Structure 1
Amino acid sequence: MEQAKKPNPDGYVHARDAEEYQRLRDQAQMWQRATENIFDRIALAPGMSCLDIGAGPGSVMRLMADRVGPEGSITGLEIDGAIAEQALRDLRAEGGAKFDYVVGNVVALEEVKGAPFDVTFCRLLLMHLHDPVAILEKMHFWTKPGGVVVAQEFDFGSIAVEPLCPAMAEFNRLFEGVFRGHGRNMRAGRQLPAQFEAAGLGLPDGTHCEVKYIPLKDMAAMLIGVYQGLLSAAKELGIADPERANAFRVEMAEAAADGRYYCLTPVLIGAWKRVT
C-alpha cells in the first residue's frame, strides 16, 4: 500500500497533489452541465467580471470565460499557489477572457483585487469550512449592486451503490469518518438557503439541483481517487486501515468490471441571489 501523505496545514482533508487535481478536473467535467445551467439562469454575459473562490485548476473559470468573452474578466481565489500558477498559465494560453489569480485563504482575506464583481461564485467550498456563513458574507460584500452571489454544494445523503456493494460500505466508512471527524458538512447543499439568509443575502432567488445514476464503471475511478486522497486525514483520526484500503481498491475495481452495479451520486445543489 502507498504511504498516506502528510495532512495539509490549511485543513483541506483531501490530498494536494497531481492525482487530486486531476480528480478535480474529472469531477468538474462531470458536473459541468449543472454549473452551466446556473450561469444561464443568472444571465452571465459578455463583459462581466467574475470571482471564483476555491478556483483550483480553473475548470469553472474556463466556463465563465465562454460567457464573458474577451471583454470580461475572471479572478480565481485559491489557497494553493502551485496549482494557481499552473492554472493561470493554462487559462491565459487558451485565452477567451482576462484572467487573474489571487493566492490566499478566503477565511483570512478581507479584500480581493478586482472587487466588486458582477458574479461571485464558489463550488464545493463551503462544505469544507467551519463558518460558511462568514464566507457568504464576504461574497456579498465583494459583489456589485445588481450582481449575483452563487454557491454550489454537495449533499451526500443520496450516495449509494445498487445492488449492495461491500466496497461501497468501506468507502462510506472512511469518507464519513473523515468528514465527520474533521467537522466537514455532509449536508451543505440543502443548507444553502438558510446560510444565504443568515449571511444577510436573503433567501435565494433560485435553486437548481442535479444528481446522476450511472454505471459504477463510470464512477469507480472517482470513488477510488476520493478514498486514496482521504487516507492521510483518516490516519490522523486513527481510522485508516492498510488491509481494508488494499481490499477496497481491489473490490471496487472488480465491482466496476462486473457490470451489474449502478452508482447514485451526491446531489449537487446550487443557489443564487442578486444583490440589491
Structure 2
Amino acid sequence: MAESAVRKQVYTTDHSSAVLRTHSWRTLANSAAYVIPHLRPGMTVLDVGCGPGSLTVDLAKRVAPEGGKVVGIDYVADPLDSARQNAVDQEVTNVEFKVGDIHALEFPDESFDLVHAHQVLQHIADPVQGLREMRRVTKRGGIVALRESAAMSWYPESEGISAWWNLFQRMGKEKGGNLEPGRYVHVWAQEAGFERDSITCSAGSWCFASREEREYIGGTFAERMLSSGFATAAVEGGFATEEELAKISASWRAFVNDDNGWLGILHGELICRK
C-alpha cells in the first residue's frame, strides 16, 4: 500500500488478540440487523474494514445461493488470516479477503450490489473520500450500508472509565479521527454524492449488562489497557502513563464484577441507495 494511503489511517489501536476477540463477537444479528432485509441470494458484496471477518462470513452465508460472493478488505494484513480461518471453520467458500485502502478501492466502477462498512469511517482521516469510493464501486440501484457509533453511556459512575473515555477521545482527535460520527454520518453521505431522499437513517444499539456481557466488553477493555497497540500508543505519545493505564484497567475489572454494571452504545445506521 502506498505510504500516502497508510498515513490516512488513524486507527488508535492495533489487531491484538483482545481487539480481534471484540471484533469477532460481531454478527449481522447483533451489529448489522438493519442490512439483513436488503440481502438476497446471488448478490455481490464488499465489506470494507472487515477485520477478523465475522460480519463478512455472515454476509457470505446470506448471499451464497445463486452464486453470491463477498469480498472483505482491511487496510493491513494482520487480521486477515483469522478471517480466512473463520471462513474455513464455518465451511464458507464464497468469500475472499485482501488488503485494500478505502480511500482508493482497487475495483472497477459499479462492481458490487452492496457495499458495507461497520465502524470504519470514524477511524479514517477523510471519511467523505472513503464514502465516494464506496459509492463509486456500487452498482446503479445498489446500496451502501453504514453503521457508526453515536454515543456511549455507563453505570455506575467510574473515575477510571471516565478517564478511559477522555483518553480515547484525546488520542482519536490527535490522530485526526472522527469521534461518534453516527449522529451526522448522513451529512457525509450527501457530501459524497448521495441525494438526501436516497438516504434512510435508523439507529441501533449494543447493551452489556449480564455477567457474560460485562466480562466480554469490560474484560476486553481491561486487557487492552495493559497490552495492545492502544496502550503502546498512549504511553509513547505521552497521553497516559503505564500506572494510569493500570488504574483504568482495574476500573474495567470492577465494572465486570459489579452486578449492576451497565454499558450502552448507540449507533447511527444508513442505507444509501445509488
Pairwise TM-score range, normalised by the shorter structure: 0.7 to 0.9
Residue number in structure 2 paired with 1:111: 106
| Structure 1 residue identity aligned to 2:116 | F
With over 3 angstroms needed to count, the CA separation of the structure-2 counterparts of 1:54 and 1:200, relative to structure 1, is same
Instruction: Assess if the C-alpha contact under 8 Å between 2:10 and 2:172 holds in 1.
Output: no
| Structure 2 residue identity aligned to 1:193 | H
C-alpha displacement of 1:14: 0.6
1:73-130 deviations in Å (ceiling 9; x for gaps): 00011122242234124314533451122312222x3432796100011111100111
1:146 aligns with 2:146: no
With over 3 angstroms needed to count, the CA separation of the structure-2 counterparts of 1:94 and 1:251, relative to structure 1, is closer
Instruction: Assess if the C-alpha contact under 8 Å between 2:50 and 2:72 holds in 1.
Output: yes
C-alpha displacement of 1:20: 1.8
Q: How does 1:245-260 map to 2 (within 5 A)?
A: 245-260=245-260
Instruction: Assess if the C-alpha contact under 8 Å between 1:54 and 1:76 holds in 2.
Output: yes
Instruction: Assess if the C-alpha contact under 8 Å between 2:18 and 2:224 holds in 1.
Output: no
Question: Which residues of structure 2 form unaligned runs of 5+?
Answer: 1-5
Residue number in structure 2 paired with 1:272: 271
1:150-195 deviations in Å (ceiling 9; x for gaps): 111111x3x2222312221221222122112222111311111111
2:42 aligns with one of 36, 42, 47 = 47
Residue number in structure 2 paired with 1:214: 208
Question: Which residues of structure 1 form unaligned runs of 5+?
Answer: 1-7
C-alpha displacement of 1:226: 5.0
Residue number in structure 1 paired with 2:189: 196
Supply the distance in 1 between the matched residues of 2:241 and 2:57 (Cα, whole angstroms). Answer: 39
Query: Structure 1-normalised TM-score?
Result: 0.84
Query: Taking every aligned residue pair, what percent have the same amino acid on both sides?
Result: 21
Q: How does 1:70-219 map to 2 (within 5 A)?
A: 70=65, 71-96=67-92, 98-107=94-103, 109-112=104-107, 116-155=111-150, 157=151, 159-203=152-196, 204-215=198-209, 217=211, 218=214, 219=217
| CA RMSD in angstroms, aligned pairs only | 2.4
Supply the distance in 1 between the matched residues of 2:267 and 2:116 (Cα, whole angstroms). Answer: 14
Residue number in structure 1 paired with 2:243: 243
SS for the counterpart of 1:178 is helix
| Structure 2 residue identity aligned to 1:160 | S
